[in-house]
A and B are shown apart, each in its own frame.
Chain A
Amino acid sequence: MADITILYSIIGAIVTLFVCFIIGTFLPGVEKKYVHARIQQRIGPPVSSVGIMAPIKFAFKDNLEPHSPAPGLYKALPILSFLCVLLVLLFITPQMYSVALLSSVIAIIGLLKVEEIAYVLMGSLSKSIMSLSMRFPDLVKGAVHSDVVRSHIEDISSKRSLRMISYGSFPLYLSLFVPVVCSGSLYIGGIIKYQQIHGPFIFTTQGILAAFIFFIGYVILLNESPFNIIEAESDVIQGPYMEYISKYRSVIYLTKGLLMFTLAALFTIFFLGIPLNLFSWNILVYIIVALLFTLFMGILSAFTPVFTNRQFLPVVIVSTLIGVLAIVIGILI
């Protein structure tokens, strides 16, 4: 009997992951087609082109060797990112609640941090042709700085990713700790149980504040405009993704869609207290939350120019302070 229960749990978790993955692949397309394109009064691409057709197309393209000091590691990083996001999604399925150590805020934050660190490594390991030095002294126009060390534009992106790890992702993680403080549990099972008894966190003062900064953190973690400083087109172009082509780029696109859904799922669990159960109507709530997040993010990015440090830092500082305030309120109430 116990064996059958374990088997059902494994099947349930796999099916949940698969369905969530499929839903996730549509989200980038929804953002481009139904948010950006509608706001910009244009037709936009087919909804499946960004998250589904593009990965399929890239998967069948020829690969080129990257100009990297460690090509093996460089090529493994998108897969590592994808696995991290997939594991986060796995750990928030009800089947994993019994494995308390994995189904906890600490494990989730740890995995998301690994996903962020991957950007630092991607940037530092990429030495694309975009910034290669010439074979002769660069003396055009009587240049005075002929001996300066030339930096690859991916290096800037790597340094920016490091900054994002150190302070850029504060809002998201702080917002996740608000339900932890209120419920007194680090485990997802405990947080859901608390909300089923006391009502969803979103309807509390600290919950509203935390939900707001969760959204800011959501956009930052997805590297979406206006917080896309690590892949700002005006200077670092594609940043860490510059040299990914073929199936590696395909994995990057899939990771983006999956991360969009996973973060929205985290919000549903931490702020609405609804478990990710594929075999109940709960899944509809997950889909609606994922679509709402996509909609809000699309609106924000359509109406805002890319931030530089001058705009980015105040936003992060204010969001962090709101997060701290939400935690303090959570402790006091």
Chain B
Amino acid sequence: MIEEKIPNPNGELIETEISMGTVHPAALEPYRVRFFVEDEIIQEAEITIGVNHRGVERIMEGLPVEKANALTEKICGICSNSHTWNSVLTAEKGLNIDIPNRANYIRVIMGELERLHSHLLYLAHGSEVLGHETFSMRIFYIRETVMDLLDMIGGNRVQYGVSIIGGVRPRCELNEMRILKIETGLDQLESDITKFAERFKADPIVNSRIDGVGYLPPKQARKLAVTGPSLRACGFDYDIRTEMPQYDDFDFEVISLDTCDVKANLLMRVLESFESIKIIRQAIKNLPKGPIADRTWEMIDCDIIQSYIEVPRGICYHSYALENGRIRGSVIRTPSMSNIAAMQYAAIGNHITDGQLCIVQCDPCFTCTDRAFEIIEL
């Protein structure tokens, strides 16, 4: 087993370069990767991001905090709820707002449903990059159950707009009919994911494509600040949900696997899906009575506030200061930022056909990640 993957120093041995992107069918979003290869084996990889930069943080600057929170939802189409939740948490932390317990439970339910849909999307995309269209299609079908539940609670399949400062929106209230639908959906989902996982694990050809591919040594994963399921697939059982007060009432396990390859990353998402289902079941079973929003808070000025939460891909960071109810100095850091960089190392030593798979294994979200760019003087 390689202890640490080291790129070729100053490249006398590099034979040729294969450049992929910024547009490539194996990538869901535009980015560029340069593979330096010898006989189709990757010796080094360089990933360049920045194509999706939209300057969300700059747009947030000076906006009223409620508007800015709504804007954060547009950062990502997959973890839109997580961004709003974290942005709202940042404001609540600065304004010392204690939200009703029922609202927190609804936020947790939404967060976990989003994790489910993100993990299933990841599995579908991973299968697509493997060239296994049938698996990909089947996972998309399984994911539809989650999408329907998200649609039912948030009113949309992508932008749910659930969290507001002080709680959740009135339309996201969970009545008995909705709770029953969630319960039925979760049963269906659990059965479907179990069947898929058994089929996936038993397929010898799929396993031969993913076993040992994209190995990222744990030492390097730690050094490169890999986060979320990608870190846990390298043997570290670190999940910031265990430290988040929002998850205090919930009992769940932090899954970790130690093979550090594509297979571990794929299985990690499957196993985490079961934990998410467990959390949602606890939330709907013990859903507290009472209001879902506290609108009695008052706006005050506050210095830089920071908030971290565990989103489907890892730790997400939001920070800003408040001045006359408006945002100042907004900084958002998504988990893909460090994960993508680490995948440059994971790709080393693999066949070029597996190159994209090695990068995709960290579930990269380039739209989320693109925050800053450098202007090159020509």
Binding site for B on A (CB under 8 A): 36, 39-42, 130-131, 136, 138, 140-141, 143-145, 148-151, 153, 156, 159, 225-226, 228-229, 232-235, 237, 302-311
CA distance A309 to B285 in the complex (A): 51
A228 to B353, CA, bound (A): 11
Q: A140-B376, A235-B355 are in contact. Are A226 and B133 (CB under 8 A)?
A: no
A191 to B356, CA, bound (A): 48
Q: Which chain B positions have C-beta within 8 A of A228?
A: 131
Q: Quick one: given A145-B36, A302-B133, A308-B209, are A235 and B17 in contact (CB under 8 Å)?
A: no
Say whether B130 faces chain A, with CB atoms less than 8 Å apart.
yes
B173 CB–A CB distance under 8 Å: no
Is B333 close to A, CB under 8 A? no
What are the nearest 7 A-B pairs in CB distance? Answer: A306-B131, A40-B137, A305-B132, A305-B130, A151-B16, A145-B11, A234-B26
Of chain B, the residue at the smallest CB distance from A146 is: B11
B5 CB–A CB distance under 8 Å: no
Chain A facing B: main interface SS: loop
Decide yes or no: A136 and B134 within 8 Å by CB, A148-B16, A150-B17 being known contacts: no
> In the complex, what residue of chain A is closest to B356 when comparing beta carbons?
A234
Q: Please pick, from A39, A130, A141, A148, the residue contacting B14 in the complex, using a CB distance under 8 A.
A: A148
Check: B19 CB closer than 8 A to any chain A CB: yes
| Bound Cα distance A149, B15 (Å) | 8
Over the window 346-378 of chain B, the binary record of Cβ atoms lying under 8 Å from chain A Cβ atoms (1 yes, 0 no) is 000001111111000000000000000000101
**List of B residues within 8 angstroms of A143 by Cβ:** 34, 46
Q: Shortest distance in angstroms between B35's beta carbon and chain A's nearest beta carbon?
A: 9
* A138-B34, A140-B48, A235-B353 as given contacts; A153 in contact with B137, CB under 8 Å: no
Q: What is the interface residue range for chain B against chain A?
A: 35 or more
Taking a contact as CB atoms under 8 Å apart, the answer to whether A153 and B20 are in contact is yes
- The answer to whether B208 and A149 touch across the interface, beta carbons within 8 angstroms, is no
Q: Shortest CB–CB separation between residue B185 and chain A, in angstroms?
A: 19
Given contacts A144-B11, A235-B26, contact A40 B19 (CB under 8 A): no
Q: What 0/1 pattern do residues 1 to 17 of B give for CB contact below 8 A with A?
A: 00000011111001011
B16 smallest CB distance to A (angstroms): 4
Cβ–Cβ contact B48 & A308, under 8 A: no
Residues of B contacting A159 in the complex (Cβ-Cβ under 8 angstroms): 40
Instruction: State whether the Cβ of B108 lies closer than 8 Å to any Cβ in chain A.
Output: no
Q: How far is the CB of B329 from chain A (nearest CB, A)?
A: 26
- B44: CB under 8 A from chain A? yes
Q: Is chain B's binding surface mostly helix, strand, loop or mixed?
A: mixed
A150-B16, A311-B208 known; A237+B137 contact, CB < 8 A:
no
Q: Is the CB of A306 within 8 A of B26?
A: no
B18 touches A156 (CB 8 A): yes
Asked if B205 and A305 sit within 8 Å, CB to CB, the answer is yes
Contact of B55 with A by CB under 8 A: no
CB of A258 to closest CB in B, whole Å: 24
The CA-CA distance from A150 to B46 in the complex, in Å, is 14
Please indicate the chain A residues that have their CB under 8 angstroms from the CB of B352 in the complex: 156, 235
Q: Is the CB of A40 within 8 A of B355?
A: no
Asked if B327 is at the interface of the complex by the 8 Å CB criterion, the answer is no
Chain A residues whose CB sits within 8 angstroms of the CB of B129 once the complex forms: 234
- B25 nearest CB across to chain A (Å): 5
Inter-chain contact B378/A136, CB cutoff 8 Å: yes
- 17 A-B residue pairs with Cβ-Cβ distance under 8 Å, sorted by A, are A40-B137, A42-B137, A130-B20, A140-B376, A143-B34, A148-B14, A148-B17, A150-B17, A150-B18, A151-B37, A226-B205, A233-B131, A234-B130, A235-B353, A305-B205, A306-B130, A311-B209
Contact A302 B17 (CB under 8 A): no
Q: Give every chain A residue within 8 A of B133 (Cβ-Cβ).
A: 36, 40, 225, 302
In the bound complex, how far is the Cα of B209 from the Cα of A229, in angstroms?
14
Chain A residues, Cβ within 8 Å of B17: 145, 148-151
B206 contacts A by Cβ under 8 Å? yes
B297 in the interface (beta carbon within 8 A): no
Measured between C-beta atoms, what is the minimum distance from B41 to chain A in Å?
A: 10
- Least Cβ–Cβ distance between A264 and chain B, in angstroms: 23
Is B24 on the interface with A (CB-CB < 8 A)?
yes
A150, closest chain B residue (CB): B17
Which of A148, A229, A233 lies in contact with B36, CB distance below 8 A? A148
| Nearest CB of chain A from residue B127's CB, rounded to whole Å | 8
Smallest Cβ distance from A203 to chain B, in angstroms?
31
CA distance A291 to B40 in the complex (A): 36
Contact (Cβ within 8 A) A131 B19? yes
Q: Is the Cβ of B378 less than 8 Å from the Cβ of A41? A: no
Q: How far is the CA of A141 from the CA of B352 in the complex (A)?
A: 22
Asked if B48 contacts A153 (CB within 8 A), the reply is: no
